[in-house]
Amino acid sequence: MARKFLYVVAVLLVLFVAGRLALTFFAEDLTELTFVPGGDFEALEPLPGNVWDKPAMWISGPLAAQGHGTDWSDPAAWLPTGASEPPRGTQRAAVFFIHPTSFLEKSAWNAPLENSEANDRAALFVQAMGSAFTSAGTVWSPRYRQATIGAFFTDRPDAQEALDLAYRDIESAFAVFAARNPRGPIVLVGHSQGALLLRRLLRDHVANTPLAPRIAAAYLAGWPVSLEHDLPAMGLPACTSDDQSNCVLSWLSVADPADTQMLLKGYARRPGLDGKPLAGSAFLCTNPLTGSQDGQSGAAANLGTLVPDFAKRTGTLEPQVVPAGCGMDGFLHIGAPPKLDMGEYVMPGNNYHVYDITLFWENLRGDVRKRLTAWTAEQDRAPPELSGRLPRSPQEPSETLP
């Protein structure tokens, strides 16, 4: 009996070692097999631009509210206990938030709009991430036919076609957002796939347009912004201090020891905004705890990490646990893995990609307020013909908190 038990232990040990070796040497192959669709990309019909005038096409925001009863709760309006509130009577912005990938299936290259699991996961992301920016104003978060997660694990042309389709949806949603917010400050936020698409949106629809001076800040978390191939085309400079407006922030969070090899390879699959390869290109690192480029700070500066409870659709704020510093590699390093129950979404290589925003939730809530205040002060100093704040008509309501 004892000998049989030892045989079983030996077999299990061999299987365990073999599994670890497979994950080590064939991780990319296994990931592709698990997530990348087997079939070819199938072009979908473009949606009419005015479809985003419908409440069903928004996860969060005033239009979404029109499609629900009085008992509906906007996901982005959720706040954890202890969250800071902006002063009453201060300037409000319109916040355009592009949620990250929530479609994890390989059944299609783009998420069907009616996919309930992807929609539910997207609402959770809007709640956990978008809520950080409600201190600056109302969050508008559109539904879009996002590329499946497998599009980021392959070099196949189908992946870029899927991302192009997702981008066309975002373009149409943004056009409706801009039309319904014709004046006043704008905050742009995207995470992961959302940040990848936001880069293009800045290049195509913000840079060198009347919208450009209205951008209080643009937050591109979880996707690299190349200093050489992306930033010049986006029309806004990098933020270098926490009291600067009309600028770009971006960061990629990892704990130590970090293995960023797969991350860098995945990012290099997509070209820069100038069409050139991103491999080897330095990218922007903003420290959300300091609001500055290449900043360093200890855990004492972290005003609150949002520790999510996805099952109960809630979370708690834990201050002074997570430090942050931009490394020579361009990644935002948070030290050793934090002693917090962050759930099941920490990725291999100590990649805290899913938590890029929630790790620094309360600091970002303050950061966006500072940048909106700086934007307002700058508009007050600018002559009317150069100001991003258009004059109000006598009938237009004041853009202040109630």
Condensed to tens digits (0 to 9), the pLDDT of residues 149-203 reads 999 999 999 999 999 999 999 999 999 999 999 999 999 999 999 999 999 999 9
DSSP β-ladder status, 305-309 and 296-297: unpaired
DSSP β-ladder status, 58-60 and 296-297: unpaired
pTM value is: 0.88
* Pair 338, 329: CB distance under 8 Å: no
* Pair 242, 291: CB distance under 8 Å: yes
Contacts of 379 (CB under 8 A, 6+ apart): 387, 388, 389
Mean pLDDT of 225-231: 97
Closest CA relative to residue 36, chosen from 147, 117, 153, 145: 153
Q: What is the mean pLDDT of the chain?
A: 88
Q: How far apart are CA 99 and CA 144, in angstroms?
A: 9
Residue-level pLDDT at 388 = 52
Strands (E), 248-309: 248-251, 253-254, 286-287, 292-293, 296-297, 305-309
Strand partners, 215: 186
* Pair 309, 250: CB distance under 8 Å: no
* Pair 282, 227: CB distance under 8 Å: yes
- In this structure, what token pair is assigned to residue 323? 């430090």
CB atoms < 10 A from the CB of 303, how many? 18
The most confident of the ranges 62-76, 218-232, 265-279, 305-319 is 218-232
Residue-level pLDDT at 55 = 96
Closest CA relative to residue 63, chosen from 71, 78, 52: 52
Residue-level pLDDT at 13 = 34
Confidence of residue 131 (pLDDT cuts 50, 70, 90): very high
Q: How many CA atoms lie within 13 A of 400 on its CB side?
A: 6
